[in-house]
Amino acid sequence: MNSRPTIAYIGLGLMGLPMAKHLISNGYEVHGYDIHPDQMAKAQSAGVVTHSNLQSVAQSGQVILLNLPTFTAIKDVVFGENGIAKVVDATQCVIDFSTNPVIEGCELIKKFRNQTHCAWLDAPVSGGPAAAASGNLTVMLGALPDEYSKNEDLLKTISGQLTLIGPPGSGLVAKTLNQLIVGCLHAVIAESVSIAKKSGIDANLIPTALAGGHADGVLMQQIFPRMMAADFAPRGYARQLLKDLEMVNSYATDLKVPVPMTSQALTLYRILIEMGHSELDTSAILKVIQR
């Protein structure tokens, strides 16, 4: 008998679909919904039981997973005309992997919990589609201790690094900091690629040369080679990182904390989107530096 909870997955896109596939491979029954028919077809082929609307899929699972691209989408899915808040109950649990603004996100969590008595765990992730597919995501969790315990096995199935930051909303703060660092590093790496290419050295050797030093890291090893190869196929969309940097800037403003490096990265991503590259990978920021 399968003791794992039935999963209702809303948002089967760049991150959601590989995570759903991973859960299925680990014995979970996954029901799903996405607004894009092509993603629904891919999900169905992968073994997801697809549903025609939000409320139907929400009622099909003991645990409802959300992986949505914008906070507007979250609000519509939860509190819209056909939102899940109208049909969920206290026996269910929502785990949201999306990247949401801290203050507005915390307000939504509080409203949802008060209205439905359903648990809500904010669990933003980092690592990209490959980590979602292999169950090696970094998960920054905001949850009450008992709600975390009830969902620990599920969360550990999808994560390589799982940290309970604090009560609901805490994960949103951690992800905001993650995106601040990621956005700034993308811009810095783009500058280093541009200099290396013009210097006359074999620029492809830089990630190897810096490996193990203070400049090394996941982004150096992954993003630098992509920029060198002009490989901008999306592992994460440029428009998404712009949205996240706007969110970082807004939160820092609310806290009255100066973020000059973030402001510069934000400006560069605004230019990138204005250039028409919203659907390219985040590493396409190189196009602005080389413009």
Q: Where are the domains of the chain?
A: 7-167, 174-289
Is 7-167 CATH 3.40.50.720?
Answer: yes
Report the percentage of the chain scoring pLDDT > 70. Answer: 99
Arithmetic mean of pLDDT, 127-132 = 94
Arithmetic mean of pLDDT, 94-103 = 97
Per CATH, the number for 174-289 is 1.10.1040.10
Residue 250 near residue 216 (C-beta atoms within 8 A): no
Q: What integer best gives the mean pLDDT of the chain? A: 96
Q: Is the pLDDT of residue 15 over 60?
A: yes
Arithmetic mean of pLDDT, 32-60 = 97
Q: Alpha helix (H) ranges present in 159-237?
A: 170-199, 206-210, 218-228
Report pLDDT for 120: 98
pLDDT digits (tens, 9 = 90+) for 231-252: 999 998 999 999 999 999 999 9
15-19: long-range contacts, CB 8 A cutoff, minimum separation 24: 15/67, 15/97, 15/125, 15/128, 15/129, 15/132, 16/65, 16/67, 16/97, 16/132, 17/42, 17/43, 17/46, 18/129, 18/130, 18/132, 18/133, 19/65, 19/67, 19/97, 19/132, 19/133, 19/137, 19/158
> SS3 for 66?
strand
Backbone dihedral angles phi then psi of residue 124, each to the nearest 5 degrees: -60, 150
Classify residue 135 as left (phi > 0), alpha (psi -120 to 50) or beta: left
Q: How far apart are CA 137 and CA 161, in angstroms?
A: 7
Report pLDDT for 2: 61
Q: How far apart are CA 67 and CA 64, in angstroms?
A: 10
Arithmetic mean of pLDDT, 192-208 = 97
Classify residue 11 as left (phi > 0), alpha (psi -120 to 50) or beta: left
Report pLDDT for 3: 82
